[in-house]
Structure 1
Amino acid sequence: MMPYRQKNARGSFKPHLAVKFRSEEGNLRSFFIDSTRVAAKYPQPDAYLITHAHSDHHGSSAMLSECSICTEKTMNALEVRHSRNFKGNLAGENGFIDYGGVKIRTYPTHHTDGSVAFGWENENGMRILATGDVKDASNLPSCDVLITEANYGDPADLSCYFEDDLEGFYAALKSPQDVAFGAYPFGKAQRVVRLIRQSGYEGPIGMDDKSQELTQNLLEDAGELVSMDAGAGVNVVSPGKLEELPLYMSKYMITGRRDHRFPSINISDHLDASGLEKMVLDIDPEFVVVYHPAGHRPSRFACHLNTLGYDAVCLADINNVVSNEFM
C-alpha cells in the first residue's frame, strides 16, 4: 500500500490523504479519504471515502461524485447541510459493501450520527483501516495499517485531556429556570438532544431551523422538536442563536472552549489524548498514518506513537506526491 498526497491543477495539495493498493484480484486501486474531488477532466480515483459530514472532511465536494461512499445518515446530513443531492454509494454503519472488486467493511466511530471507519484488505492480506474522527473506538478492529486522526493528540497539551461533564450537564438541565444549550447544528446538537431524552425529559425541545431539520433527519427518538420561538423550557440552538433567546433563560455553551460569554459545559465528540493512545494500543497496527487535523497535532501524535514503539508518520511527512496529470 502506498499513502500519497494528491496535487490539483494549481500545484497545491488536496486535503487529507489518498492510498494506492492492489485489490485481492491484483487490480491497482486508489481511494481518497475525506478529500475533495478531482476535476472531471482528470483520471478519477476508484472511490472517495466520506467518514462523516463535518465540513473539514470535505463531503460537500465528494458527495457529487458517483465514486463516493458514505452511510445513509451521512448522506442525509450532507444533503440537508449543503442543499445538494448525493450521487454516490451507500454503505451500512456496521457491514460490508463490495465496491470495484474491494470488500469494504464499515465500523461505527460514534463521532456523529452515521460516522464510520472504513476497513479493507489488499492482495497480500494487509488490513487497512481509515477511521475519520472517533468518539468511541470500541467497535474498531485490529489492523496492519491505521489511518487516523489526532484532533486532541498532543500529549504535552493539557487541553487535550478531558472528560465529558455529564454531571454538570444534567445539573443545568434540572435547574428550575428554562434552559438553553448552544450546540453546533450537526453532530453536537444531536448528541445533546439524545442526552436530554436519556435523562427522562419528554417535553418539547426548542431548536433553530437548521438544528431541528438535521436532528429530525438523524435521530429516530428525537421526540417533539419545536421552533426556538415556541417558548419551550428546554432549548438546543446554534451558538449564534443563544443571544436571541429571552434573558431569563439559563444559557450554556456545549464546548470545551472557554472563550464564550456563556458558561461552558464540556461534551466532546472526540477521544482525548489518552483515548487516542488507547485506541492505537488496542488496534495495535504495524504502521500508523495521522492525517487530520491541520496544524501541529498530527506530527506530535505521530512522534508520541514513535516513542511507544510504533512506526508512525503524519500527513506532512508523506513525500509520495501525485499530480492530476499523472494519476
Structure 2
Amino acid sequence: MTLGSWLTPDPCGIYLPAADAWIDPSKPVARAIITHGHADHARGGHGEVWATPGTLAIMAARYGPQNGRSVDYGESIQLGPIEVGFVPAGHVLGSAQVVLDHAGERIVVSGDYKRRPDPTCTPFQPVKCDVFVTEATFGLPVFRHPETTDEIDKLLSALRTEPERCVLVGAYALGKAQRVIAELRAMGFDDPIYIHGALQALCDLYVEHGVALGELRPATGVAKKELEGRIILCPPGALNDRWSRRLPDPITAMASGWMRVRQRARQRNVELPLILSDHADWDELTRTIEELAPREVWVTHGREDALVHWCRLRQIRARALDLAGFEDEDD
C-alpha cells in the first residue's frame, strides 16, 4: 500500500474517506477537523466540527455558534478507524497540528505553525511521523525572520524618537494584533495601547482565555492630543483610510512576515516595516523536517517547490499538494 493512501488531498482540503471527514475544508462539509481559527482554514456552515476549545471559541466569535466537538491538546478521538489527535502548532490561540494514526502509519498535518516563542499561544510540539504535511508560506531561503525582540525594539525606538507623533501598527485581527501587544508587554511597555474597534472582540477573547494584554483603550473618539506618543493598533486595511487621518501624524507600521519584501511595504505606504510572522521561516521549516525525520513530506500553503527540492536533495520523498483557497490573513 502506498504511504498515506488512506488520506486524499483535494483542492477543497484534505479528505479522510474512512472517517468521511475533512481537514480545513474550504467549503461546508458534514464533518470538519479544523487546525485553527483563521478564515482561510476555518469556515462556518459545517455539520460537525472537531477543534480545540480556543479554535471553537474563535469560530463562534466569527461565525456564530458551531456544532463543535472540543478536543484538548494531547487528547485523541476515534473517527471511524482513524485515531485523531491534536497537538500545539504555536501559530495562534488554539492552533493545532492534527495527528492521524491508521493502518500502522502516522500522518501529521501541521496546519500553520511557527517555532518561535509566542506569549499568546502554546508552543509547537514536534511529533515523529511517517508523513509530515507542512505549510510553506515562507518556504524560500530569502525568508529568515529576525529576532522578535529586535522588531519590537524598533517600534519602541520610533515612539521614543518622535514623541509628538503616534505609531500606528497594522496587524491582523486574529493572532498578530494580540501578539504585538503581548510582545510589547514582555519588553516592559506598560502604557495603555489604543486599538481600532475591529480588534476589540478578539482581544477580549484572548483575555478570556488567559492571555494578559494589559490596558487596552478604544482609539476611536479620542482627542488627537491624547494620542501623541501612543501606540495604536488597527487592521491593515485601516492604515491609510479615513479613520487614520484623524491621528497625530502617525508613523505607519505593519507587522507581518511579508515586510521582508520591500515592495509589499511600499505598496501599503509603510514607514516602519516590522518583520513579525506567525509562520515558520525557511530555517524553521527545514529544521522541523530534519527533527521529525518523516519518510515523506507533503508541502502546501505557499512556496512549495523550493521546499520539495530541498527535501529531494536530502533523499526525502516529497511532493506538493494542490490545495485552494488559502490566503495570508495570518502572516
Give the alignment's TM-score, normalised by structure 2.
0.78
Compute the displacement of 1:165 (Å): 4.9
Q: Deviations over 1:18-67 (max 9, x none)?
A: 244xxxxxxx334422113456xxxx5xx42211122222x113xx3243
Contact 2:54 2:93 in 1 (8 A): yes
1:52 aligns with 2:26: no
Counterpart secondary structure, 1:29: coil
Task: Name 1:292's counterpart in structure 2.
Answer: 301
- Aligned residue runs from structure 1 range 68-107, under 5 A: 68-82=49-63, 84-92=64-72, 94-100=73-79, 102-107=82-87
Q: Deviations over 1:122-175 (max 9, x none)?
A: 132x111111011127512111111111111134xx2x2332453242242253
Residue 248 to residue 154, structure 1, CA distance change in 2 (3 Å): closer
Task: Name 1:195's counterpart in structure 2.
Answer: 183
Q: Percent identity?
A: 24
Task: Name 1:142's counterpart in structure 2.
Answer: 128
CA distance in 2 between counterparts of 1:168 and 1:196 reads 10
1:110 aligns with 2:114: no
Please, what is the CA RMSD of the aligned residues? 2.3
Compute the displacement of 1:105 (Å): 2.3
Contact 2:113 2:278 in 1 (8 A): yes
Task: Name 2:111's counterpart in structure 1.
Answer: 132
CA distance in 2 between counterparts of 1:242 and 1:111 reads 24
1:261 aligns with 2:269: yes
Contact 1:76 1:218 in 2 (8 A): no
Gaps of 5+ in 1: 7-12, 21-27, 318-327
Deviates more, 1:255-264 or 1:114-123: 255-264
Q: Deviations over 1:54-100 (max 9, x none)?
A: 2222x113xx3243211222222223233x222221112x2203233
Query: Alignment partner for residue 228 of structure 1, among 219, 223, 243?
Result: 219
Contact 1:69 1:91 in 2 (8 A): yes
After the TM superposition, which parts of structure 1 deviate over 4 Å for at least 4 consecutive aligned residues?
none
Task: Name 1:241's counterpart in structure 2.
Answer: 238
Q: Deviations over 1:258-290 (max 9, x none)?
A: 232122111111111111011111011111111
Q: Deviations over 1:296-317 (max 9, x none)?
A: x223322221111111111149
Task: Name 2:171's counterpart in structure 1.
Answer: 183
Residue 35 to residue 198, structure 1, CA distance change in 2 (3 Å): same
